[in-house]
Amino acid sequence: MPWIDACSTSDIDEEDLIRWDHAGKTFAIYHSPDGEFFATAGLCTHENIHLCDGLVMGNLIECPKHNGQFDYRTGEAMRAPVCVNLKTFPVKVEGDRVFVEVA
């Protein structure tokens, strides 16, 4: 699987996320409060709303449409109305660059 240079570490505030589009797919990249980076599919599994306008609280991302929540580290659906887990992607940081391994 290729590692793709997605963004700079400074592009995402701590406890926040950004949208990242690559090869016709859309992703969400997160900067956790502990300074780690994570990546998931960009669209909520409930109704295909992009998570980039959502709210990061600790390790959770809350969807902006119906307040469904996922743990963005594992993709696990944590709060209704989301029932289906979110796909996650491996992330590594080299220097000040964030790389995502897209499947």
Partner 1 sequence: MSKRDYSLFGPDAKRAVESGLTAAEWYHTEVPRKVMKDLMARSDQPAIRDTIILYGSMVLFAGIGIALWPSWWSAPFWLAYGVLYGSASDSRWHECSHGTAFKTPWMNNWVYQIASFMIMRNSATWRWSHARHHSETYFVGRDPEIAVMRPPEVAKLILNFFGILDVIKFFPNLVQNALFGPTAAEKTFVPESEWGKVQKVAIVHLSIYLATIALAVWMGSILPLMVVGLPRMYGAWHHVMTGLLQHGGLADNVIDHRLNSRTVYMNPISRFIYWNMNYHVEHHMFPMVPYHALPRLHEVIKDDLPPPNTSIAQAFAEMWPAIKRQVMNEDYFIKRDLPPTAKPYREDFHHYVPGMMPPAAAE
Instruction: Kindly list the residues in this chain that would bind partner 1 in the complex (CB under 8 A).
Output: 16, 46-47, 53-55, 57, 62, 64-67, 69, 79-81, 83
Q: In the stretch 24-53, what mask flags binding to ligand FES with x, by CB under 6 A?
A: --------------------x-xx-x----
Residue 27 C-beta: closest distance to ligand FES, Å: 16
63 binds ligand FES (CB under 6 A): yes
From its phi and psi, is residue 68 left (phi > 0), alpha (psi between -120 and 50) or beta? beta
Cα gap 47→1, rounded to integer Å = 28
Residue 7, binding choice from partner 1, ligand FES, none, Cβ under 5 to 8 Å by partner class:
none
CA–CA dist 11, 45 (Å, integer): 25
Rank residues 56 and 98 by Cβ distance to ligand FES and give the closer one. Answer: 56
**Among 46, 44, 69, which residue's Cα sits nearest to residue 59?**
69
Which amino acid makes up residue 93?
V
